[in-house]
Amino acid sequence: MLRPLLAASTLAVALALAGAATTGARAQTEATPAAQAQFSESHLALAREVVTSSGMSRSFEAVIPQMQEGLLRQYGRNPALLEDAGEVIRELRPEMDLQRRAMQNRAARVIASRLSEEELTAIAAFFESEAGRRYVEVQPAILDGLISEMQAWSQELNEYLQIRVQAEMVARREAQAAGGGAAPAQQ
C-alpha cells in the first residue's frame, strides 16, 4: 500500500518540479542568443560531437547521480522510503537519459553559436586524433593540477601584493616626512 502511494506521490512531485523547471528553463533559454539562433543540423551535430569528444559532457553528466544520491540521503532515515525512492530513481533512468541529452544539446547550441561548422570540423578532428583522445584522457588530472596551482599562486600573489603595498606605503610616509609633508605625485 505504501509503495504505490509513495511512488505515485514522488512521481507527481518530480513531474511538477520538472514542469516548473522546464518552464523556468525554457524562459531563460529563450532569452539566450544560443537558443534563439538557427543552426543547420550538421552544425549542431558537429557541436554535439565536440561536447562529447572533448570531455565537456563529463562535467554535467555527473550532476544526475549527485542529485539522485542527495535525494536518497533525504529518505535515508526511513528504510522503506529509501527503498521506494531507490526503485523510483531506477525507473526514472530513461527520463534522466533524456535530461542528459537535453543538456548536451544545450551545450552544443552554445558552442555552435560561437564556432562555425568549419571550425567545429577541425576541432572534432583534433579530438578524434590520438593527441586529442590523450588530451581528453588526462584533462581531469590537468584541471586538478591547475586548480592546485591557482590556489598556491593566489596565496603567493596575495602575500606579494600585501608586502609590496605595505612597503610602498612606508616609503611614501618616509618621503613625506623627509620632504616636509609633500605627498608624492600620483601616476
Number of compact structural domains in the chain: 2
Residue 170 in grid coordinates: 612606508
Helix (H), strand (E) at residue 49:
helix 41-53
Q: Are 28 and 117 part of one and the same domain?
A: yes
pTM of the model: 0.62
Q: Are 55 and 95 part of one and the same domain?
A: yes
Query: Within a domain: residue 187?
Result: no
Q: Are 79 and 30 part of one and the same domain?
A: yes
Q: Are 170 and 79 part of one and the same domain?
A: no
Q: Are 93 and 57 part of one and the same domain?
A: yes
Q: Are 118 and 151 part of one and the same domain?
A: no
Residue 142 in grid coordinates: 590537468
Burial of residue 70 (CB within 10 Å: 0-12, 13-18, 19+) is exposed
Range of the domain at 154: 139-180
Q: Are 56 and 21 part of one and the same domain?
A: yes
Which of 167, 172, 168 is CA-nearest to residue 182?
172
pLDDT tens string, the chain, 187 residues long: the values are 334 333 333 333 343 344 434 444 444 444 455 666 789 999 999 999 999 999 999 888 889 999 999 999 988 888 888 999 999 999 999 999 999 999 999 999 999 999 999 999 999 999 999 999 999 999 999 999 999 999 999 999 999 999 999 999 999 999 999 986 555 555 5
Q: Are 123 and 143 part of one and the same domain?
A: no
Query: Within a domain: residue 149?
Result: yes
Q: Are 143 and 122 part of one and the same domain?
A: no
Query: Within a domain: residue 13?
Result: yes
Q: Cβ(117)–Cβ(43) under 8 Å?
A: yes
